[in-house]
A and B are shown apart, each in its own frame.
Chain A
Amino acid sequence: MTFVIAATVGALFALGTFLLLRDDLVKVVWGLSIITQAANVYLIAMGGIREGTHDLVPILSGHGGEEVPATTDPLVQALVLTAIVISFGMTAFALVLSYRAYQENGTMNVREFAQ
């Protein structure tokens, strides 16, 4: 399982980086959104991806005590939720901005943008 997650995160980062380096503006935005999603997957994985008991969960192992039931780490999920909302907003903004940039510059090619 760890291997699968690691491979997924790696593949997402590779794909995102590839897209980010393209000339086409929309592909750049896609690349950004893929990279942020990869970061989110990674963040989830940081909470422990085995079936959780309290000593697998960093924030519970230090503070909780023995009576904590088997659970996954809730903290990373809260973090990822926040990060997803932020990256969603950013993607929307980036798309609107790229449309506007297209209108103003008359091209989607990043290299032809005004300096």
Chain B
Amino acid sequence: MIATLASGVAVLAIGRWPRLQRWGSVAGALAYAAAVAALAWTVVDGGALTYQVGGWDAPFGITLVADALAAFMLAITAVVAVYAAAFSVLFIKPANQRTYYHPLLQFLLLGATGAFLTGDLFNLFVWFEVMLMASYVFVGFYGNDTHTAAAMRYVVLNILGGALMLLAIGGLYATVGTLNLAEMAHLLADPGADVQTAPVVGLTGLLLVTFGLKAGLAPFQFWVPSAYRSAPMPVAAVFAGATKKVGIYAIVRLYFTVLGGVAFTADVPLIPVETAPLAFLAPVLLLMAAASILVGGIGAVAQDRLDGLLAYSSVGQVGFIAVPVALAAATTSPELRHLGILAALIYALHHALTKGLLFLSTAAIRDATGTTEIAALGGIGQRSPTFAGVFLLGSLSLVGIPPLAGFFGKLFVFDAAVTQFASAPTAGAAAVVCVLLAGAVLTIVYSTRAWIGCFWGAQSEAVAAGALERGEVAVLATMAVLLVVVGVGFEPVYGFADAAAEAALDGEGYVEAVDLEGGETA
């Protein structure tokens, strides 16, 4: 089943050279979504599925694992992918679509899918590279001076990130003696196994750098705005919705599923004694997340172009996803840990949908008016009330107004932060709540600015001259409806996210699912 999922995407990518490829791409994304839905159904109902590639048993072969966490992330990706593919057909010029665009889009999805499903650390590196290779081309897609410069920076940074990841992988292999994530969890949690755990903290720290780079967290956020501005906008929607989530997913998977059971006493400088990788993660990630929220929010307020504003806002929102993850790492109570992961997952879902909608709306604006400068836009609300309604729904969801998807994202993040504060009222916990509030206020400020600047007031020249394409508005309208549906019918979504958070924390279940009987140590 998982094999059909991955290979289906690959075959579609390669087998569509004729003109049909545009609609083939949409059909491919739909088929992908259907496969993911079927997979999610099975996983949530009946527990994790595994597939030993090539029939080699774990821990020697490469294992693909689909548990609820992976299925949840895949579901997010699938929804964004369908909209991005459909929108690309309408938005990108046919000449630009002709050769490489759609296969690359599928490869981007393939890379993200592989990263979500793999149960092997080195394989994760390979899927990262698959995903990045496609994204490099997208960043440089239009090929003029700013785009090539942005692509160059993006490439240099990610190759460096890849080298760091290789170092960490090599070190972990030498210390733990395996690359299989399940076996790693098993060995590290087993005090009887002769494994030195102290180096693992540092080595996973290296991995955290790479994952943070992928997710665009604060000290590594500087590539995000230029890359997002350069990529074609439907692809920027996929970047924000899927590619960034891979980084977050990897952090959650590595630290909670694999290293969650690890506790040891080691005298590592700067870190409290009787430490665990989670105790190391908590302050670092919390700082990164808080900085992301502030940098992203302030950057977004200062932008004068709509796509730049959304790119910075994306940095801030990833911070919102990372804060509950860090809180979950900081606490020792299982309920709060569960709540933290749950909040992060729900926020990730909301961010993917909302930011996808807003990026695609921006694409529609650019298609109609030829610009994304907020100063040059104005009065779109008069010109097309439907479209204005769609954008308003997106902005409101970003801010977190009740009936929409964003409300629950914000609700759970704040719930986690306040619960943490209530259980341990320290200055740090209070600071977290304050940063979250500041971030929320900044979100309101820049959403309002975008809304007023673009949709209110007299129609500017560009707006009066341009006309929105009906097809694009229709696609966006369905997406806005989806936002409302997720918000109103939140119960099943909550169940799914709950199962995913459960899976993220259940290291033993993960080990069991992978079934290590091929190795004698297991």
Interface residues of A, Cβ cutoff 8 Å to B: 20, 25, 28, 32, 35-36, 38-40, 42-43, 45-47, 58-59, 61-63, 65, 75-76, 79, 82-83, 86-87, 89-90, 93-94, 97-98, 100-101, 104-105, 110, 113-115
Q: Are B177 and A62 in contact (CB under 8 A)?
A: yes
Contact residues of B between 144 and 167, Cβ < 8 Å to A: 144-149, 151-152, 155-156, 159-160, 162-164, 166-167
Say whether, besides A42-B167, A65-B520, A35 and B122 are in contact (CB < 8 Å).
no
13 A–B contacts from the bound complex (CB under 8 Å): A20-B156, A32-B163, A42-B170, A58-B174, A62-B521, A63-B520, A86-B129, A97-B140, A97-B155, A100-B148, A101-B145, A101-B148, A114-B145
| Distance between Cα atoms of A94 and B163 in the complex (Å) | 15
Residues of A within 8 A of B145 (CB): 101, 104-105, 113-114
**Any chain A CB within 8 A of the CB of B459?**
no
Q: Are B156 and A94 in contact (CB under 8 A)?
A: yes
Contact for A100 among B60, B143, B159, B519, CB less than 8 A: B143
**Any chain A CB within 8 A of the CB of B178?**
yes
| Distance between Cα atoms of A65 and B521 in the complex (Å) | 11
| Distance between Cα atoms of A101 and B226 in the complex (Å) | 15
| Distance between Cα atoms of A46 and B126 in the complex (Å) | 19
Say whether, besides A65-B520, A94-B159, A97-B140, A83 and B178 are in contact (CB < 8 Å).
no
Q: Which residue of B lies closest to A65 (CB)?
A: B520
Contact residues of B between 324 and 372, Cβ < 8 Å to A: none
Q: Give the distance to chain A from B189, nearest Cβ to Cβ, in Å.
A: 15
Contact for A36 among B133, B163, B179, B521, CB less than 8 A: B163
Residues of B within 8 A of A105 (CB): 145, 148-149
Q: Are B155 and A62 in contact (CB under 8 A)?
A: no
Say whether, besides A20-B160, A94-B155, A40 and B146 are in contact (CB < 8 Å).
no
Q: Are A104 and B521 in contact (CB under 8 A)?
A: no
5 shortest A-B CB distances, which residue pairs?
Answer: A58-B177, A113-B149, A101-B148, A46-B170, A46-B174
Residues of B within 8 A of A97 (CB): 136, 140, 148, 151-152, 155
Given contacts A42-B166, A94-B152, 16 further A-B contacts (CB under 8 A): A32-B163, A36-B166, A39-B164, A43-B169, A45-B170, A46-B171, A62-B177, A75-B179, A87-B159, A90-B155, A93-B133, A94-B155, A100-B143, A101-B151, A115-B146, A115-B149
Q: Give the distance to chain A from B54, nearest Cβ to Cβ, in Å.
A: 13
Residues of A within 8 A of B163 (CB): 32, 35-36, 38-39
| Distance between Cα atoms of A102 and B129 in the complex (Å) | 25
Residues of B within 8 A of A58 (CB): 173-174, 176-178
| Distance between Cα atoms of A15 and B102 in the complex (Å) | 39
Q: Give the distance to chain B from A41, nearest Cβ to Cβ, in Å.
A: 10
Residues of B within 8 A of A20 (CB): 156, 160
Residues of B within 8 A of A47 (CB): 174
